[in-house]
Amino acid sequence: MLKPPDNLSIGTVVNPVARVLPVLATDNIGSAMQELNARAFSFVKGQEYLAQVMTKLDDKAYLVKVDQTMLKMELGTAARAGQTLLLRYMQDSPVPTFLLAPPTAKSSGAAIELSPAAQLLGRYLKEAETAGASTRFEAVSVVTHSPKNPQLIAQDLRQALSNSGLFYESHLNAMVQGQRTVAALMQEPQNQHNAQIATLMAQQLAVLDNQRLSWHGEVWPGQKMDWDVHLQDRQNAEEPVQQDLDESRPFASEITLHLPNLGKVTAKLSLVGEHVRINILAEQAATLDTLKNKSDHLTQAMTDSGLQLDALTVTSYE
pLDDT of 139-184, one tens digit each? 989 999 999 998 899 999 999 999 999 999 999 989 988 999 999 9
The span from the CA of 270 to the CA of 308, in Å, is: 12
The secondary structure of 200-238 as a DSSP string is HHHHHHHHHHHTEEEEEEEEETTEEEEEEEEEPPGGGSS
Residue 98's closest CA among 68, 75, 120?
A: 75
Amino acid identity at 287: T
Residue 152's closest CA among 217, 220, 199?
A: 220
- The larger pLDDT score, comparing residue 270 to residue 117, is at 270
pLDDT of 65-114, one tens digit each? 887 777 887 777 767 787 888 878 777 766 677 777 655 544 445 556 77
pTM over 0.75: no
For the beta sheet containing 251-259, the strands, ordered from the edge strand earlier in sequence to the opposite edge, are 137-138, 212-220, 223-231, 251-259, 263-272, 275-282, 308-316
pLDDT of 30-60, one tens digit each? 344 444 544 555 778 878 888 888 888 877 7
**Where residue 241 falls among pLDDT bands split at 50, 70, 90?**
very low
By the 8 A CB rule, do 191 and 221 touch? no
